[in-house]
């Protein structure tokens, strides 16, 4: 029941905010059930593959004009490159480092979404319609960062794509960025899930228990968000990001203190042994 409920909440957040649901799944599995973060990321990506597919299909039925297909292609291309870079880093990063980087990425994304709430920031740096080639060039690194966060943290890239597009382009609304993010998450999360499967960190049992309700949640989220103004959606996005980041940093600090406390007596005893040796 817990995993089914978790899948539904992740699906709603995916369709509502365009974040893929990993923002809910990864912290819940690591903090509440004690799963290693890499295994939680693998399960998140496996679930996001189905959620993003259903979410994008629902968006096409509800309001297809929200999807910016040219931006979706550019961002997907950058995401594939970013996912490949992340695949090489994944086997080298320890659990504690991944947790800290994950929390930092959430804080950055929250700041960007809150910045979009200000009237001065709502206009964006420039408009995509007047500067299409410059816009596509800027969108490429957004996709690159999205691919990195997707494979490393199981987020589907939405925490980079959504605030990135709304902050950069004055003529790309929150709803357009959210819908475009859903489309780009399909290939990106598929690549990340495939890599985690090869590493043995994709738990298909977890995916099967979360996916049915996650798909249902994605349907609900897409239908609901298209009847709500962009401002409250951005605010909700930022609040969720901040809450999860803070919750992740607290246990990470405790773990580092426990490690320090456990090493200190050992180090002092070794020091005493060395000094007593003639």
Label residue 277 exposed, middle or buried (CB < 10 Å: 0-12, 13-18, 19+): exposed
Q: Is the dihedral of CA 12, 13, 15, 20 positive or negative?
A: negative
Q: How confident is the model at residue 258, as a pLDDT?
A: 46
Say which residues have a Cβ less than 8 Å from residue 5's Cβ, sequence separation at least 6. Answer: 213
Per-residue pLDDT tens listing for the chain (278 residues): 899 999 998 888 888 877 767 778 888 888 888 888 888 888 988 998 888 888 888 888 888 888 889 888 999 888 888 878 877 776 676 767 766 777 777 787 677 667 656 554 445 677 787 888 888 888 888 888 888 877 777 666 677 788 788 778 878 888 888 888 888 888 888 888 888 888 888 889 899 999 999 999 988 888 888 887 767 777 777 787 787 677 667 654 444 444 444 444 434 444 444 444 44
């Amino acid at each position: 029941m817990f995993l089914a409920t978790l899948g539904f909440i992740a699906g709603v957040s995916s369709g509502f905010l365009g974040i893929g649901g990993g923002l809910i799944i990864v912290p819940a599995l690591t903090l509440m059930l004690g799963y290693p973060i890499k295994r939680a990321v693998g399960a998140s990506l496996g679930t996001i593959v189905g959620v993003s597919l259903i979410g994008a299909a629902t968006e096409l039925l509800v309001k297809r004009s929200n999807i910016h297909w040219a931006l979706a292609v550019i961002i997907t291309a950058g995401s594939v490159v970013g996912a490949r870079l992340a695949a090489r880093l994944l086997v080298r990063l320890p659990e504690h480092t991944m947790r800290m980087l994950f929390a930092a990425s959430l804080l950055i994304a929250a700041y960007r979404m809150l910045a979009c709430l200000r009237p001065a920031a709502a206009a964006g740096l420039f408009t995509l319609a007047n500067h299409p080639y410059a816009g596509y060039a800027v969108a490429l690194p957004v996709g690159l960062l999205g691919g990195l966060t997707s494979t490393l943290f199981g987020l589907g890239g939405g925490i980079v794509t959504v605030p990135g597009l709304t902050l950069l382009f004055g003529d790309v609304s929150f709803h357009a960025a959210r819908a475009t993010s859903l489309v780009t998450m399909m290939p990106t999360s598929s690549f990340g899930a495939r890599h985690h499967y090869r590493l043995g960190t994709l738990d298909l049992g977890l995916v099967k228990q979360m996916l049915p309700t996650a798909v249902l949640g994605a349907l609900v989220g897409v239908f609901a968000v298209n009847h709500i103004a962009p401002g409250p959606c951005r605010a909700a996005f930022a609040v969720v990001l901040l809450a999860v980041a803070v919750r992740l940093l607290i246990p990470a600090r405790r773990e580092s203190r426990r490690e320090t406390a456990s090493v200190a007596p050992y180090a002092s005893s070794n020091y005493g042994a060395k000094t007593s040796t003639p």
